[in-house]
Amino acid sequence: MTDDSASSAGPLVTGAEIARLAGVTRAAVSNWRRRYDDFPAPAGGAANSPLFALAEVQEWLDRQRKGQEVSPEVELWQTLRAVYGEQMVTGLAAVAAALREEHAAPGGVPGAKLPDEIATRVRELARTETPVTLVNGLTERLLDSARRAGSDQVTSERVVRAVRHFAPELPGDATVFDPAGGIGVLLLAVAPEAGTRCYGQELDADSSRFAQLRAELLGRSGVRVMAGDSLRADAWPDLKAQLVVCDPPAGVTEWGREELLLDSRWELGTPSKAEGELAWLQHAYAHTEPGGHVLMVMPASVAYRKAGRRIRSELVRRGIVRQVVALPPGTATSHALPVHLWCLRRPESAARTDTHQTVRMVDLTGNSPDGSLEPGPDQVAEVPLIELLDDIVDLTPGSHLRPRERDYAGEYATLREELEDRVRGLAAVLPELAAGGGPGSPAGATTSVADLARAGLVAYDGPMPVSASEQLDTDYLQGFLRSSLNTRRSTTAGGTYRLDGRGSRIPRMTIDEQRRYGSAFRALSAFEEGVREIGELSRRLAEVAREGIATGALAPPQEQEKQQQEK
């Protein structure tokens, strides 16, 4: 949700947030905007990224009942998941093939060759949705599913956005190539013009089939995607493109080095077995025409690993690498680590008279993954080639940018003062406790939470049961449920902790006694929360201190200064 203080309409939301609110895809929201005249008008944002008033959107959804019932698109997705399981791309390819056949021969029965239940769902949607809207909606669901699962099966939308941002402008009749295309998301995104000639290859046959079918449904007649292993069996050996984009498989060591040792593509050096990403880079570079560009999505470690030093050195020495961008953490789907975008360009001539003398280093690791991709003045540096050609040839942008102006001394003093205050106050939160042996003893009379639930005294409105009666204190109930006796009852044979509560037992007490114990449990919860906050504050303090010392902004006091501080 976007907090736009300039808006009088209250909180604003994006189209993606509306989709999550209603349980549909963004394509469905875009379709609503076109089909329904009463859909709320944008209340802010830009033309290509409008923002809508949350209150107006919720009112419209309530009128349309869009957020209260399962849409046909969701039903189709659920049916595909039930039939194809983890092989969802196979299912999407089957749906796309059925839609293409119906589109090529109007009047046919869409989905005639699909399983009956899926065919029924497709026919229902085909009455109100175009094939393009339907296949785009399913693609968005696949991308969202991969993002939620942390899968690298498909290129994430954030990576696609970054590649599009840093890609050069292309003429309408340009040639674009993606040798590790997946379902074609990156290829079709960087070459949106219908006249652009697009070529791709993908190892997974279902993914390449779906990419080709989707392109055909979109009316992209210049797209050709082949199935096969790009490194071992290049389907386009003579292709020279103006732009090659590639999000290669990361960390793959079995890429065929032994079979390809003398391959002509290794003009910058033969990659080691551990440097599969640099094999993909050289494969992409081999497919560029003079003056052509390559945009490679690379793990951050490729920029400094020892095994790839020689190839990095050649990239720098020949002026091929023009820019390296460290993208924000979270840009990749499968992990929170930053990834790099390497921007290469083949010299216009063999004489390499257009060789650049610097490499542009951009460090966006301090940005939000959904924030701006335009670097600030302190996030970019032009690094001379000679400075890069050392024993490491480190292409990590952060290694070549000056530390940003930061008041380490002020931050350290403030955080330290806050930590001292928190630590002093923590002991005061602890409840006064004396030796027990009373009604809370395991030997005392107890009652099961299941009995309390049957009597209507307990409700399950969240992760922990709460009191539903004045006869039961919530803090008392939850405090005993978190005791070791009850947590053991909530642990499965496989060691998984799952608090149901119904099998737990709590001591029998009067309501006044419950409140007395509940007060102690409440204080312990506050103590635990305080400990967690102190832990996070301590981590931040240590990080500031370490960085401050390393950059010279902070220093240990001299012995004389130390003695004065101790007085």
pLDDT per position as a tens digit, 179-234: 999 999 999 999 877 668 999 999 999 999 999 999 999 888 899 999 999 999 99
Tell me, what's the pLDDT at 120? 86
Tell me, what's the pLDDT at 560? 58
The CA-atom distances, in angstroms, between 495 and each of 146, 203, 484, 486, 487 are 28, 39, 14, 14, 11
Q: Does pLDDT of 153 surpass 80? A: no
Q: What is the rounded average pLDDT of the residues 486-499? A: 46
Q: What is the rounded average pLDDT of the residues 296-312? A: 93
Q: What is the rounded average pLDDT of the residues 527-536? A: 85
**Mean pLDDT of the chain, nearest integer:** 83
Tell me, what's the pLDDT at 105? 53
Q: What is the rounded average pLDDT of the residues 554-562? A: 75
Tell me, what's the pLDDT at 7? 46
- The answer to whether 446 and 508 are in contact (CB under 8 A) is yes
pLDDT category at 408 given cuts 50, 70, 90 is confident
The percentage of residues in the chain with a pLDDT greater than 90, rounded to a whole number, is 35
Tell me, what's the pLDDT at 78? 78
- The answer to whether 209 and 226 are in contact (CB under 8 A) is no
Which helix (H) or strand (E) segment is 414 a member of? helix 408-429
Q: Which of 537, 529, 473 is nearest to 506 (CA)?
A: 473
Q: Does pLDDT of 257 surpass 70? A: yes
Q: Does pLDDT of 406 surpass 70? A: no
The CA-atom distances, in angstroms, between 129 and each of 15, 137, 445 are 19, 10, 64
Tell me, what's the pLDDT at 487? 60
Model pTM score: 0.63
Phi-psi domain of 437 (left: phi exceeds 0; alpha: psi -120 through 50; beta: other): left
Tell me, what's the pLDDT at 484? 72
Tell me, what's the pLDDT at 149? 65
Q: Does pLDDT of 93 surpass 50? A: yes
Tell me, what's the pLDDT at 482? 82
Helix, strand, or coil (residue 89): helix
pLDDT category at 490 given cuts 50, 70, 90 is very low
In tens, the pLDDT along 322-369 reads 999 999 988 886 556 679 999 999 998 766 555 679 999 999 988 888
pLDDT category at 70 given cuts 50, 70, 90 is low
Per mean pLDDT, which range of 207-211, 227-231, 503-507, 551-555 is the poorest?
503-507
pLDDT category at 4 given cuts 50, 70, 90 is very low
Q: Does pLDDT of 272 surpass 90? A: yes
Q: What is the rounded average pLDDT of the residues 134-149? A: 81
Per mean pLDDT, which range of 86-90, 355-359, 408-412, 457-461 is the poorest?
457-461
Tell me, what's the pLDDT at 566? 57
pLDDT category at 140 given cuts 50, 70, 90 is confident
Tell me, what's the pLDDT at 104? 58
Which helix (H) or strand (E) segment is 277 a member of? helix 276-286
In tens, the pLDDT along 427-473 reads 888 888 888 765 555 456 888 888 887 788 887 655 677 888 888 88
Residue with tokens 């919860």: 525
Determine the Cα–Cα distance for residues 157 and 405; give it in Å rounded to an integer.
Answer: 32
Q: Does pLDDT of 3 surpass 50? A: no
Give the other-Cβ count within 10 Å of 250's Cβ.
18
Q: Does pLDDT of 320 surpass 90? A: yes
pLDDT category at 503 given cuts 50, 70, 90 is low
pLDDT category at 496 given cuts 50, 70, 90 is very low
Phi-psi domain of 107 (left: phi exceeds 0; alpha: psi -120 through 50; beta: other): left
The percentage of residues in the chain with a pLDDT greater than 70, rounded to a whole number, is 83
Determine the Cα–Cα distance for residues 214 and 184; give it in Å rounded to an integer.
Answer: 8
Tell me, what's the pLDDT at 498? 42
